[in-house]
Amino acid sequence: MSLADRIGGLRARIRRACEVAGRDPGSVELLPVSKKQPLSLIREAAALGFTRFGENYVQEGGDKAAASPELTFVLLGPLQRNKAKPALQHFAEIQSLDRPELAERLRHLAEDLHVVRPVWIQVDLWDEATKLGGCAEADLPALIAALGGDARLPLRGFMAIPPPEDEGAFILLAKLRDRLQQDLGQPLRLSMGMSADLEAAIAAGSDQIRIGTAFFGERNN
Ligand SMILES: *Cc1c(COP(=O)(O)O)cnc(C)c1O
């Protein structure tokens, strides 16, 4: 199947899910996840109008970003402290912020580098059920405090990778977002939903779905 055909099918799924949920398809951002996909395929997607891509690894995504200055890359994967600098240099946004030490390190570096990088907090409401990183709900206040409202790292919202087939997960996340949006008095977005579960995520109010295989096809592992 060609990339354009696959994206056409994906768009139809998104439209149907929005119809069922009574939402405007324009209210759901489609973020293609290009990890382990070649630059040639990313460029094909760019020719179809996509300019922002999600990547999981600092090295791989950084290399792609350096080779494609016209495109924007968002970091989705776990971030180690010692990779914080290249992460800020190559990625326009960081969606995997999950602990206060990392927030402090990023603030310090963002000031040195004179950059502004929107961040999303990755939350894990399932007690490491997924082992993919993420901040527990009880630790969120400390993490938000560590960001300190720093204008160089504006908080955009929450990202999560719920356990597969956990029906209530997206609704739980939506409630958490609503609550924190109230508490902090600022709009916060929700990045949830992947190839297998985008319909449930859209029904629960996701603002951004992160799509790898349903967009690019199987990954080369
Ligand atoms: C790989 C990945 C995705 C995309 O997964 P698919 O199931 O291929 O759509 C989305 N978000 C994160 C954080 C990922 O690591």
User: What pLDDT digit, counting tens, does each position of 114-125 carry?
Assistant: 999 999 999 999
Q: Which domains does the chain have, with CATH numbers?
A: 3-216 (3.20.20.10)
Write the pLDDT tens digit of every residue in 181-196: 999 999 999 999 999 9
Structure confidence at residue 129 (pLDDT): 56
The pTM of the full predicted model, rounded to 2 decimals, is 0.97
Q: Is 181 exposed, middle or buried (0-12, 13-18, 19+ CB in 10 A)?
A: middle
Write the DSSP symbol of residue 25: G
Atom of ligand 1 nearest to the CA of 194: 9
CB–CB of 105/60 below 8 Å? no
Query: 35: Cβ below 6 Å to ligand 1?
Result: yes
Percent of the chain with pLDDT over 70: 98
150-159 mean pLDDT: 98
Q: State in Å: Cα 111 to ligand 1 middle.
A: 30
Which stretches within 22-57 are classed as H helix? 39-47
Q: State in Å: Cα 211 to ligand 1 middle.
A: 6
Q: State in Å: Cα 215 to ligand 1 middle.
A: 11
Structure confidence at residue 26 (pLDDT): 97
Which stretches within 22-114 are classed as H helix? 39-47, 58-67, 84-90, 100-113
SS3 200: helix
Query: 212: Cβ below 6 Å to ligand 1?
Result: yes
